[in-house]
Amino acid sequence: MSKTINTSQLPIMEAFYTIQGEGHHTGTSAYFIRLGGCDVGCVWCDVKDSWDADIWPKQTIEQILAGANHHPGRIAVVTGGEPLMYDMSDLTQALHNSGFKTHIETSGAHPLSGNWDWLCFSPKKFKEPLDEFYAEADELKIIVFNKSDFKWAEEHAQRVNKDCLLYLQPEWDKTDQMMPMIVEYVKNNPKWKISLQTHKFMNIP
């Protein structure tokens, strides 16, 4: 059973101000807080260095907030790794108190904590998500690595709430191979939209 780690300090792999490149908020300025630590283990993960939480320096909530407040944008995106390995309640409260909208990108493999303005739920085959995320998700983002992922995507789409936006996103290294299939699938199943890692196309960190 998943256990949430309660701590007043969080391992920070990186934190930076940039443009959101994926999903519903593509093109929006945002401060990204990437936490170290993940036990999901996606074979195609592009941030495998984030998996080991012990190698990343820990920061207090006050230190994290100070970094965010250096920038004019008021969206903070918490990602990982898997950010919900940690209790997010104090962090989201502090961000809200400073006028931020709080967004999270999660696999849903650990209990939901924190107060979120936008929840991007991206379930993975490598560790089963918890049921609570289907009701709470604002956005379902399925990474398409092979043809079988379309059927898997539909299984999750049937479980999310009626207002949840549905996105199919090609795994970066298979973009050329999977994109024609995704385009045809979305044309035939218009409830879905395409998400691209536009920051990679534009060489934006």
Report the DSSP pairing between strands 165-170 and 192-194: parallel
What is the C-alpha to C-alpha distance for residues 70 and 73, in angstroms, rounded to an integer?
Answer: 9
CB 110 within 8 A of CB 81: no
Answer whether 136's CB lies under 8 Å from 112's CB: yes
Tokens linked to 204: 């934006």
Q: Are β-strands 118-121 and 9-19 bridged in parallel, bridged antiparallel, or unpaired? A: unpaired
**What is the rounded distance in angstroms from the CA atom of residue 149 to the CA atom of residue 98?**
39
Domains along the sequence of the chain with CATH: 9-201 (3.20.20.70)
Q: Determine the Cα–Cα distance for residues 121 and 157; give it in Å rounded to an integer.
A: 11
- The reported pLDDT for the residue numbered 66 is 97
**What average pLDDT does this structure show over 89-98?**
97
How would you class 188 by CB atoms within 10 Å of its CB: exposed for 0-12, middle for 13-18, buried for 19 or more? exposed
Please tell me which residue, 176 or 70, carries the higher pLDDT value.
70
* Position 1 confidence tier, pLDDT thresholds 50, 70, 90: very low
Dist CA 107 CA 109 (whole Å): 5
pLDDT over 80 at 43, yes or no: no
Tokens at residue 88, please? 């997010």
Place of tokens 């930076």: 16
Residue type, 95: L
Share of the chain above pLDDT 70, in %: 95
Q: Is 186 helix (H, G, I), strand (E, B) or coil?
A: helix
Confidence of residue 44 (pLDDT cuts 50, 70, 90): low
Which residues partner with 139 through β-bridges? 120, 165
Give the CA-trace dihedral at 8, 57, 64, 132, to 10 degrees.
-60
Report how far residue 14's alpha carbon sits from residue 77's, in angstroms, rounded to the nearest whole number: 12
Please indicate, yes or no, whether the overall pTM of this predicted structure exceeds 0.85. yes
- Quote the CA–CA distance of 168 and 191 in Å, as a whole number: 11
Q: Are 81 and 34 in contact (CB under 8 A)?
A: yes
